[in-house]
Amino acid sequence: MDNMPWLTLLMVVPLLGSIAVAALPSRSSALARPIALGVALLTLVIGVVATATSFTRGSSEQFQMVEQHEWIPQLGVSYALGVDGIALALILMALVLMPICLLAAWDDVPEGGARHKGYFALLLLLLPFMVGVFAATDVFLFYVFFEAMLIPVYFLIGMYGGERRQAAAVKFLLFSLAGGLIMLVGVIALYLQGPGGSDGFLLENLTGLEIGGTTERWLFLAFFIAFAVKAPMWPVHTWLPDAATAARPAVATLLVGVLDKVGTFGMIRFCLQLFPEASQWATPVVITLAVISVLYGAILAIGQRDMMRLIAFTSISHFGFIVMGIFAFTSVSQAGSNLYMVNHGFATAALFLIAGMLVARRGSKRIDDYGGWQRTTPVLAGSFLVAGLAALSLPGLSTFVSEFLVIAGTWSRYPVATALAVWGVVLAAIYVLLMYKRIFTGSPPVIGTAEAQDAASSDADLPYIRNDIDEGRRPLRLAAAVPDLGLREKAVVAPIIAVLIVLGFFPGPVLETLNPAVERTLQIVGISDTTPSVPADAGSTSGSDH
């Protein structure tokens, strides 16, 4: 099993599945959903088997499941794949979230035909790109995956999104392409600094280069700007709220929960590993931007009236914590940041997908159009509450562990920045609890006398509002007329909440997988952990002194 090309298999299977779904005849388009779901589940099984048989936790090797073949030797480009603990954790997160998102998107395109099968083919097409971008150990190959994953996301937002979808898709594409083109200049310049040859873009051949101070700083900035856009960090974040609001909930989940992690993953894999001195040089500015992201995202989330936009701003705040932990350069903070990437993926998935279930019932994303739903949809309300508590890092849920590690690890080097960032935790409690209060407690909003008179009347008698998803007219129902979660929706929510609880109490296995890669990154950067200050006579106290 050691010679099995697991990572290639994880890309080929969903790629072939996407092609098969797209090639279905229009009269058989109903098969698109079960085929896409089956392929995603098969890919997950392959990923689990590969992890169990071919990945050793605590291994001294930097990368495992290694594959390397010549691709474009004239340009020094290789088809080179491999994973460490960080990449493996993110790939497994993507493999778990994909079938959940496909199940959540089951009724997103009910009309059938080419539009129906195209939607699920594009969703499935994201999976090989997500695996490839985390597994690539050739810098140019990484760039190819980095740019290629923009294509399905652009069409998923622009063709299948809600109101202002085209503007949001174009804005997403322009921001991402601008960052990617800047990084391409850095990739080429980095290659010219390296040994060249048929494998001159390999990460191992570009690590440890003696690059001049000014040149290294420019190269660092070329990579960092692209990753800051993708992360997203203030002030290059403005594409995210528009994209997440216009996209379908399943697409928003994959975009924010998985694809945006490429930004923070790239900072660790490329910025820190390839440009260690420049990373230390830029640290004060990066830490400042991270703290601004934490507070800015949280403050703006409080004032949002669109629930999808609110969730997007919470992610800007959470990404600020992740970046702060990465550039604090302690083993505790970096382990927390890497764990945070995984935990945030599941917590954000829960929020986006459950919010999507609310919108599907109500026909509106506006928080003010809700109220009193916990009395008639207790399972939906309880699921949303758990997801919200995970977003504010309640002890006992997975995000608490990672956020605590980031704060504790950063405090030893940057106490002022940490003290400011902690206010993001307080603000998180405000925006989460206020959103829950407005949606699920109190009395339903009264919009017109007809709605107030009879909540159980037929659809024809209910007032209408603009449907933000389908841009059509849909009955505006009161909570009394709304059904609770169905079996399919429970199958979507249950595994995510299970992960949030399990990792909240048992984060050890994931941390054991991440720690060797964290220690290796700190060794490359050349920074050791700060030593806690302990009184010299602390160990000489006799028993009689207690």
Band (466; pLDDT cuts 50, 70, 90): very low
Q: Do 317 and 301 form a contact (C-beta atoms < 8 A)?
A: yes
* pLDDT (0 to 100) of residue 49: 93
Structure tokens at 337: 């940041």
* pLDDT (0 to 100) of residue 480: 53
Report the candidate in 332, 319, 507 with the shortest Cα–Cα distance to residue 412: 332
Residue 346 has pLDDT above 90, yes or no: yes
Residue 453 CB neighbours (<10 A): 10
Residue 138 has pLDDT above 80, yes or no: yes
Give the bridge partners for 432, in sequence order.
none
Percent of the chain residues topping a pLDDT of 70: 89
Q: Quick one: average pLDDT of 25-48?
A: 90
* pLDDT (0 to 100) of residue 161: 80
Instruction: Compute the chain's Rg from CA coordinates.
Output: 24
Average pLDDT, rounded, for the chain = 84
CA–CA separation, 159 and 152 (whole Å): 10
Residue 39 has pLDDT above 90, yes or no: yes
Band (368; pLDDT cuts 50, 70, 90): confident
Would you list the domain boundaries of the chain?
Answer: 281-528
* pLDDT (0 to 100) of residue 136: 92
Residue 462 has pLDDT above 70, yes or no: no
Q: Quick one: average pLDDT of 434-438?
A: 90
Band (455; pLDDT cuts 50, 70, 90): very low
**Higher-confidence residue: 363 or 335?**
335
**Higher-confidence residue: 199 or 420?**
420
Q: What angle do CA 390, 392, 395 make, to 5 degrees?
A: 65
3-state secondary structure of 57: coil
Q: Do 66 and 82 form a contact (C-beta atoms < 8 A)?
A: yes
Q: Quick one: average pLDDT of 330-341?
A: 91
* pLDDT (0 to 100) of residue 373: 82
Report the candidate in 341, 294, 353 with the shortest Cα–Cα distance to residue 492: 353
Structure tokens at 514: 């991440």
> Where in 443-541 does DSSP place strands (E)?
464-466, 473-475
Give per-residue pLDDT as tens, 234-252: 888 888 888 988 889 999 9
Structure tokens at 429: 């409690």
Report the interhelical angle of 331-362 vs 508-525 (nearest 10°): 130
Query: Is cis: bond before 128, omega within 30 of 0?
Result: no
Percent of the chain residues topping a pLDDT of 90: 42
Torsion of Cα atoms, 32 then 38 then 41 then 47, to 10°? -100
* pLDDT (0 to 100) of residue 383: 92
Q: Do 173 and 214 form a contact (C-beta atoms < 8 A)?
A: no
Point out the least confidently predicted range of 67-71, 225-229, 389-393, 471-475: 471-475
Determine the residue type at 181: L
Residues contacting residue 317 through CB under 8 Å, at least 6 positions apart: 293, 294, 295, 296, 297, 298, 301, 424, 427, 428
CA–CA separation, 168 and 220 (whole Å): 29
Q: Do 140 and 187 form a contact (C-beta atoms < 8 A)?
A: yes
Band (87; pLDDT cuts 50, 70, 90): very high
Give per-residue pLDDT as tens, 275-319: 888 988 999 999 999 999 999 999 999 988 888 999 999 999 999
Residue 359 has pLDDT above 70, yes or no: yes
* pLDDT (0 to 100) of residue 474: 45
Residue 512 CB neighbours (<10 A): 12
CA–CA separation, 51 and 135 (whole Å): 13
Q: Quick one: average pLDDT of 176-182?
A: 90
Point out the least confidently predicted range of 8-12, 327-331, 501-505, 522-526: 522-526
Band (9; pLDDT cuts 50, 70, 90): very high
Band (475; pLDDT cuts 50, 70, 90): very low
* pLDDT (0 to 100) of residue 371: 81
* pLDDT (0 to 100) of residue 481: 67
Band (533; pLDDT cuts 50, 70, 90): very low
Structure tokens at 370: 């809700």
Q: Quick one: average pLDDT of 187-210?
A: 81
* pLDDT (0 to 100) of residue 467: 40
3-state secondary structure of 70: strand
Q: Quick one: average pLDDT of 136-145?
A: 92
Residue 459 has pLDDT above 80, yes or no: no
* pLDDT (0 to 100) of residue 415: 92
Report the candidate in 343, 361, 340, 362 with the shortest Cα–Cα distance to residue 351: 343
Structure tokens at 333: 């903070």
Residue 59 has pLDDT above 80, yes or no: no
Residue 363 has pLDDT above 70, yes or no: yes
Q: Quick one: average pLDDT of 188-217?
A: 82
Q: Quick one: average pLDDT of 219-245?
A: 90
* Alpha helices (H) in 363-464, listed in sequence order: 378-391, 398-411, 415-421, 423-440, 449-453
* pLDDT (0 to 100) of residue 449: 39
CA–CA separation, 273 and 227 (whole Å): 14
Q: Quick one: average pLDDT of 211-224?
A: 88
Point out the least confidently predicted range of 111-115, 168-172, 340-344: 111-115
Residue 285 CB neighbours (<10 A): 11
* pLDDT (0 to 100) of residue 1: 58
Residue 477 has pLDDT above 60, yes or no: no
Point out the least confidently predicted range of 150-154, 225-229, 516-520: 516-520
Residue 197 has pLDDT above 80, yes or no: no
Residue 452 has pLDDT above 50, yes or no: no
* pLDDT (0 to 100) of residue 209: 80
Residue 10 has pLDDT above 80, yes or no: yes
Structure tokens at 247: 């996209």
CA–CA separation, 321 and 337 (whole Å): 7
